[in-house]
């Protein structure tokens, strides 16, 4: 974002930075919305055969997720935040594998 929004100036210390971060998050969310023409259920929910290249990507993603899960289990105390971190890691790995399966497309 090259220009800060006038509503969220960066000139007011920590509060201004926090407001700018919220503004940027909302802006990214708005730009990420998907129209009906950006999503083809027929394509997304059809079988996509795994090629040897895709298997290599899946293996790399799974290996990285396993290593990070080990770090979380070793360094984060047993608590609800650790459970959430592991759940989100699992979800992230699944979404990344889905992106590989779909060749980065939703249509």
In this prediction the pTM is: 0.66
Cα distances (angstroms) measured from residue 60 to each of 10, 99, 103:
40, 14, 16
Are 56 and 72 in the same domain? Answer: yes
Structure confidence at residue 5 (pLDDT) = 47
- Percentage of residues of the chain with pLDDT beyond 90: 62
Dihedral pair phi/psi, residue 8, rounded to 5°: -130, 70
Q: Over range 70-90, report the average pLDDT.
A: 98
Contacts of 51 (CB under 8 A, 6+ apart): none
Are 97 and 84 part of one and the same domain? yes
Q: For residue 2, what pLDDT band results from cuts at 50, 70 and 90? A: very low
> What's the whole-number average pLDDT of the chain?
83
- Other Cβ atoms less than 10 A from the Cβ of 100: the count is 19
* Higher per-residue confidence, 32 vs 8: 32
pLDDT at 8 over 60: no
Range of the domain at 5: 1-33
Work out the burial of residue 104: count CB atoms within 10 Å of its CB; fewer than 13 is exposed, 13-18 middle, 19 or more buried: exposed
Shared-domain flag, residues 16 and 61: no
Residue 60 in domain: yes
């Amino acid at each position: 974002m090259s220009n800060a929004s006038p509503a969220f100036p960066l000139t007011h210390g920590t509060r201004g930075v926090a407001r700018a971060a919220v503004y940027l998050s909302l802006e990214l969310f708005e730009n990420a919305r998907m129209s009906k023409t950006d999503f083809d259920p027929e394509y997304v929910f059809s079988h996509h055969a795994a090629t040897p290249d895709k298997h290599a990507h899946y293996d790399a993603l799974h290996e990285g997720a396993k290593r990070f899960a080990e770090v979380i289990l070793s360094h984060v105390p047993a608590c609800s935040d650790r459970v959430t971190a592991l759940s989100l890691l699992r979800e992230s790995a699944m979404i990344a594998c889905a992106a590989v399966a779909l060749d980065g497309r939703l249509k």
